[in-house]
Chains A and B, each alone.
Chain A
Amino acid sequence: MPVVEVTKFRKVYDGKVAVDDMSFTVEAGDVFGLIGPNGAGKTTTIRFLATLLEPTRGTARIDGHSVMTAVREVRKRIGYLPDHFGVYDGMRVWEFLDFFALAYGIPLKRREKIIQDVLTLVDLGHKRDDLVNGLSRGTRQRLGLAKTLLHDPPVLILDEPASGLDPRARVEIKALLRELKLMGKTILISSHILSDLADLCNRVAIIEGGKLLACAPVEEIIGRFRERHVIEASVLAREKELANRLAGTKRVANLEQVDGQVRFDFAGGPESIAALHADLIREGYPLLWFREVEVTLEEAFFRITKGEVS
């Protein structure tokens, strides 16, 4: 049985459709990525799952409990980290966690150990007595993650956890999320930093304009583009001529010239690519390089949102 189940979710704000007819499931232990540009409907979907939003239509269940009718049961099972969250000025790190631990009903005899454990997990033990309003953004984000882990929820719902962080902080957050994945948590994470999600998630949903365009394991989504190979070629001073030559080739599509390079999709296997390479050299093109570009999640995302693959 899926841990998270969204069925025909639709949300309309003041006549504007934010999310339309969205359905997907997340299995236990999955790290599920919600990918989409700003305004795609990621936060709306996440807030719906976090029991913070009334849908215009549709339902969702977390661990078998409806997010609309069994709010308290759902809240026991989720750890929610919003995209932008604040802290209470004047509180220290441990006091901030103590406040939320009590708000989650964790008894005093367990609270001290839990707070110590989550601080160690997010590597904030040395900041225990710092004022929360003095923390850097990256540290604050780790504190937010610590807060979501206090009541040991099986499902983590994280909205853009790496947004606005510097590269080092992003790496640290990614490492932390990997650790949580190993601990068996089901993680639903939204981001528009696709490289972060590619090596973290096992499944992704691509949404744009409130619509779900694709929902599948990362490998499967990337695999959809493997039938065509993306080739990049650079030639000394004759790129226009090369482009004209390739434009007349049957298996070439989506040809474009960028910064003196020629980039195109090639429908054919490795032998055909090698044959084309040999032909171009034989025809006297002074090739600087001729290589196949690996299809990444980012590439797949752009192609799917362009409507090339449905």
Chain B
Amino acid sequence: MANAVFQRELKLGLRSQKAFLAQVVFVTCLALVVLLAWPKGERVSIQEELSRTLFKTLAASMFTLITLLSPVFVAASLTSEKEAGTLEMLLVSPIPPGEIASGKQFASVLYLLLLVVTGLPVLGLCYFLGGVGGPEVLGLALQLIGYTILLGGIGLFASYVCARTHGALVVTYLAGIPLGVGMVLLTLMNKTFLSPWTALLMGSVELVAFAVLFGWVVAGLAKPPSTADRPAEEEKPQDQAFIQLQRNYFPDCFLWPERPKGYLPDGTNPVYMKEVTCEIFGRGTGLVRTILVGTLVLSCAAGFALPSNYPHIFFGYLNLCVILIAPAFAANAFTQERERGTYDLLRTTLLTPGEILGGKFFAIVRFLGVLLGFLMVPVVAALLSIGSQRHLGEFLLGLGYNLLIVLATLLVSTATGLLMSLVFRRSAGAMIAAYAAVFLFGVAPVAAFAVLDQFTTIPTSELVSWGVTSPFLGSITIPGWEGQTDFFESKTIPSVWFHYLVVSLLSTAAALFQAWIRLAGDERRG
């Protein structure tokens, strides 16, 4: 008998608007890379070299796009059933748990593989230039298939562990993005990575990892834990794995303040107080601890692995953390109120839209600021070792400018997340849109810069000056790092960092204003 879950998922998945949009985005991005990088009138010998670079760039683009798009399709596989209250109906049906998990899994992975296949003709254009053989294409295809299956397994696992799609998306992105970065770096830097044998070896490892995750989910579905009758209790520190958060100890109290002992004082914003003391940790500390552990590990790795003569890379890492974490907390600020049915209760109080929005905004900024403070510790330690070799004044000035950029990224990412939370009705949609927006404005300019710098003769300083929406490009224009003039091939370095500060603060104000209009408009739209 055919797998009913698979059939339903595939049919509904392929019919959905997001499936069509993802395909458009995927093919358009690849086509743009080809358009920018296509050689114009060079000799054949140069074309071969360009072809190999183009092939690697396209391969890296495919890994990036699959990393960014896959959580959208896989992370909701089980959480959507949980949210709709249909998972238990599925579990008590005659369909075995293995079939439920495989049906969900293969439908989403199949769609992602379809994306890979639609990208292959674009990749095939490299044949016209020469220099790329069948083994490389086969190797890339195998690497992509293995990687996609692994991401599918991670998404399924996150969807099994998390209660809501929002949490599953965050976990999938947090696990997927470091993997994706690794795949991109290996594609660009390792010569044997795209050989079929390496791909087979990597694929086997990925399949084993997938099998472990899949088996875990199937075993879990076969014995679903019963929590329905358990009375609600506050999470105890001893129940927390990896690291413990204790709200009455320094420095945890900054991240997760203790509840006020008595009633809220007059004049305080109740929404801010609610968000800070209850909301972010409402369903326990699990998500925050996962984020904290993941980013601390990456932070330490970055401190050791990144080249010490480019201190701005450390701030690039911090900016990336902000871009990854801020939408996770901001994009569900209002959708969560809607989903659990507290939005109308809030709207019929005497709180103004400005008070509600401000309370949420400042609570998230405060929380993320403290979280960043934790992450800054290893980064600052690494920077101090560089700073000791430099002129202190110049070093501190650069440090200050970089911190301003991180702060601006924090503000604009949070405001974007909040706006999306009011534009979309569901957390998953809001989060995907928020990530899409911050990646489009923050990360895509870096990718465009890398491609254009590689394949065109436009001066680096001019290319960088276009990226006023990217904190990464802004950061590298802050004066005071070794070899900066060589990098820009010019004595005049564009002040993109300043433009970025202005643009991001204006964007924050615009996003918050738009959010306020929407919130005030929601008063009447119904």
Contacts and interface: CB of A to CB of B under 8 A. Distances in A.
Q: Is the A/B pair a real complex? A: yes
Interface of A: 47-48, 50-54, 68, 71-72, 75-76, 78, 80, 82, 84-91, 95, 98-100, 102-105, 107-108, 111-112, 115, 130-131, 133-134, 147
Interface string B264-291: 1110101101100011011100000000
B524 A54 contact: yes
Contacts of B265: 108
| The 6 residue pairs across chains A and B that have the minimum distance between CB atoms | A134-B232, A86-B340, A53-B526, A89-B282, A86-B341, A103-B349
B523 A52 contact: yes
B264 A98 contact: yes
Contacts, number: 101
Contact of B278 (A80, A95, A108): A95
A99 B234 contact: no
B342 interface: yes
Interface in B243-283: 259, 263-266, 268, 270-271, 273-274, 278-279, 281-283
B125 interface: no
Given A53-B526, A54-B524, A103-B349, A86 B281 contact: no
B345 interface: yes
* Interface SS of B by simple majority: loop
B84 to A, nearest CB: 14
Given A85-B344, A89-B282, A98-B263, A103 B234 contact: no
Given A89-B283, A91-B278, A99-B264, 5 more contacts: A48-B526, A85-B345, A87-B340, A95-B278, A105-B350
Contacts of B273: 99
Contacts of A51: 348, 523
Nearest to A115: B263
Among B259, B263, B283, chain A packs the most CB atoms within 10 A around the CB of B263
A112 B263 contact: yes
B346 interface: yes
Contacts of B42: none
A89 B278 contact: yes
A102 B268 contact: yes
B231 interface: yes
A138 to B, nearest CB: 15
B467 to A, nearest CB: 41
A303 to B, nearest CB: 33
Among A53, A80, A86, chain B packs the most CB atoms within 10 A around the CB of A86
Contacts of A99: 264, 270, 273-274
A108 B266 contact: yes
Nearest to B230: A134
A90 B281 contact: yes
Contact of B350 (A48, A75, A111): A75
Contacts of B283: 89-90
A53 to B, nearest CB: 3
Among A80, A102, A104, A130, chain B packs the most CB atoms within 10 A around the CB of A102
Given A108-B266, A111-B263, A131 B341 contact: no
Interface in B345-397: 345-351
A115 B347 CA distance: 21
A75 B525 contact: no
A300 B263 CA distance: 49
Nearest to B279: A88
B233 interface: yes
13 contacts: A47-B344, A52-B347, A52-B523, A54-B526, A80-B344, A95-B259, A99-B264, A102-B264, A103-B271, A103-B350, A104-B350, A108-B263, A133-B282
Contacts of B279: 88, 90
B282 A52 contact: no
A50 B279 CA distance: 26
Contacts of B282: 88-90, 133
A13 to B, nearest CB: 9
Contacts of A107: 266
B263 A133 contact: no
B119 to A, nearest CB: 37
Given A88-B282, A89-B283, A53 B349 contact: no
Contacts of A108: 263-266
Given A52-B523, A98-B263, A98-B264, A82 B346 contact: no
Interface string B157-198: 000000000000000000000000000000000000000000
Interface in B288-344: 340-342, 344
B346 A103 contact: yes
B82 to A, nearest CB: 15
A15 B458 CA distance: 54
A266 B259 CA distance: 68
Contacts of A100: 270, 345, 349
Contacts of A90: 234, 278-279, 281-283
Contacts of A48: 526
Nearest to A53: B526
B348 A75 contact: yes
A52 B274 CA distance: 23
A80 to B, nearest CB: 5
Contacts of B348: 50-52, 75, 78, 80
B278 A52 contact: no
Nearest to A133: B232
A71 B279 CA distance: 27
A70 B283 CA distance: 37
Nearest to A48: B526
B332 to A, nearest CB: 13
Contacts of A88: 274, 278-279, 282, 342
A270 B270 CA distance: 65
A107 B263 CA distance: 10
Contacts of B274: 88, 91, 99
A54 B524 CA distance: 5
A91 B273 CA distance: 11
A50 B344 CA distance: 9
Given A86-B340, A95-B278, A103-B349, A54 B232 contact: no
Among B232, B281, B346, B525, chain A packs the most CB atoms within 10 A around the CB of B232
B458 to A, nearest CB: 49
Nearest to B264: A102
A53 B263 contact: no
